[in-house]
Amino acid sequence: KNEVEQSPQNLTAQEGEFITINCSYSVGISALHWLQQHPGGGIVSLFMLSSGKKKHGRLIATINIQEKHSSLHITASHPRDSAVYICAVRSGGGSNYKLTFGKGTLLTVNP
Amino acid sequence: NAGVTQTPKFQVLKTGQSMTLQCAQDMNHEYMSWYRQDPGMGLRLIHYSVGAGITDQGEVPNGYNVSRSTTEDFPLRLLSAAPSQTSVYFCASSYWGSGNTGELFFGEGSRLTVL
């Protein structure tokens, strides 16, 4: 079983819809990252959080440490939001630091 | 700032050949790492470094070698390329402060094909 599970694997939405992507993990973590990768493109960091909630424009990320769960929300989705969204968790400490990635959620937003 | 620079962007190798993927960052980040991305597998850590002179293995280190002689550079060497190493490779860096926090910065990726 992968230590980081994302759901759904694929998501299709109409422009303007509210989007939620979920990430569950099974290990203790020091931080969680949300990343965005456009098709054929590089990877961009959206958020890094260890507690609570962060907001940047139309994107909101939340994390519940006790439940080992994080969500990425996109309000008023737009076709340019179409991308793969990747959750990654940091665990370990010192030189045993480790990053484990989910397999990603492919989001397609249709106009 | 250029951020994280990876070269080459594309490379085709024959089985048994060796090559080096270059990664450089100009943000004075202590932490640098290499990942491979394969369909259906997600990103997997190959090697990482928390500072000059310090490297460690990740999840899939076999067939790869790294060194960190400077803070800026973290090259990944394929010693004898195999078709199983066909993949897209990403380099990433971040600050390595107390609490191990730090936003990740990725290079644009290097697509490697081994025939």
> By the CB < 8 Å criterion, does B109 face chain A?
yes
Q: What is the DSSP letter of A38?
A: -
- Cβ of B90 and A35 within 8 Å? no
The CA distance from B91 to B114, in Å, is: 19
- Cβ of A99 and B33 within 8 Å? yes
> By the CB < 8 Å criterion, does B39 face chain A?
no
Q: What is the DSSP letter of A26?
A: S
User: What was the pLDDT predicted at B40?
Assistant: 82
Does residue A23 surpass a pLDDT of 60? yes
Residues of chain B scoring pLDDT < 70: 1, 97-101
Question: A96 or A6: which carries more pLDDT confidence?
Answer: A6
The CA distance from A56 to A48, in Å, is: 12
User: What was the pLDDT predicted at A95?
Assistant: 59
> By the CB < 8 Å criterion, does B57 face chain A?
no
Cross-chain CB nearest to A31 (options B58, B92, B101): B101
> Two tokens at A44?
């961009």
- Cβ of A103 and B31 within 8 Å? no
The CA distance from B34 to B49, in Å, is: 9
Please tell me which residue of chain A has the smallest CA distance to B101.
Answer: A31
- Name the band, by pLDDT with cuts 50, 70 and 90, for residue A29: confident
